[in-house]
Amino acid sequence: MWWRKPLLTLALPLALSACGFHPLYGKSGTGSGVSEELASISIDQLRDRQGQEIHNALIKTITPAGPPEHPRYRLLVAYSVQEGQVALASDETATRDRMRFDILYRLYEGPTLITTGTFPQIFSYNFLQEHYANVSAQEDIRERLSDQVALRVRDELAIYFRKAAEARAKAAAEAEAAKAAQTPK
């Protein structure tokens, strides 16, 4: 019975590698890893206080060692916000507010746009008669927004870099196979 846990620990990596699982942030077989690609991104400033919080969260998440000395990529992030009441009491006072943030990111390599994406982040909170409670709820949403945007952008860029590395590896393998097919034996 004592041997089952060590055996399972040894068998799990083999099972994962057999199913095609590859760690997203590990090194690919043919080039730099996703972490190194992310570390070479310079992140442009955003326009206001919420933008500063998003910018700081992006730096903490994408380039935790600090901004690159010689960046290869430039990341631009923009957002818009819509706030509205989604629930009303019988006297038509608001009881629930919703904040929708639409996020747009663009990644450039030099002047060339290499990937872009958009996604929404939606939050809601109970609208109370106490003003401080509403301000506190909005501040909490803004903090959570920054962290969630940073994680989502990092993950989408990591997926892009992983797919790009796989495409380069496939193209190199096909070129090598074509070259080998043309070489007389």
CA dist 104 and 175 (Å) reads 36
Q: In degrees rounded to 5, what are phi and psi of residue 175?
A: -65, -40
Determine, yes or no, domain membership for 158.
yes
Q: Binning pLDDT at 50, 70 and 90, where does residue 94 land?
A: low
Q: Assess if residue 68 is contained within a domain.
A: yes
Beta-sheet pairing, 73-88 with 94-109:
antiparallel
Query: Is 5 domain-assigned?
Result: no
CATH classification at residue 118:
3.30.160.150
Angle between helices 131-182 and 49-62 (to 10 degrees): 40
pLDDT band with cut points at 50, 70 and 90 for residue 95: confident
In a domain, 113, yes or no: yes
Instruction: Output the pLDDT for position 74.
Output: 97
Task: Quote the domain boundaries for residue 172.
Answer: 32-177
Higher pLDDT, 184 or 47: 47
| Mean pLDDT computed over every residue of the chain | 84
pLDDT value at position 16?
A: 56
Place of tokens 């690159």: 68
Domain count for the chain = 1
Q: Is residue 183 part of a domain?
A: no
pLDDT value of position 31: 45
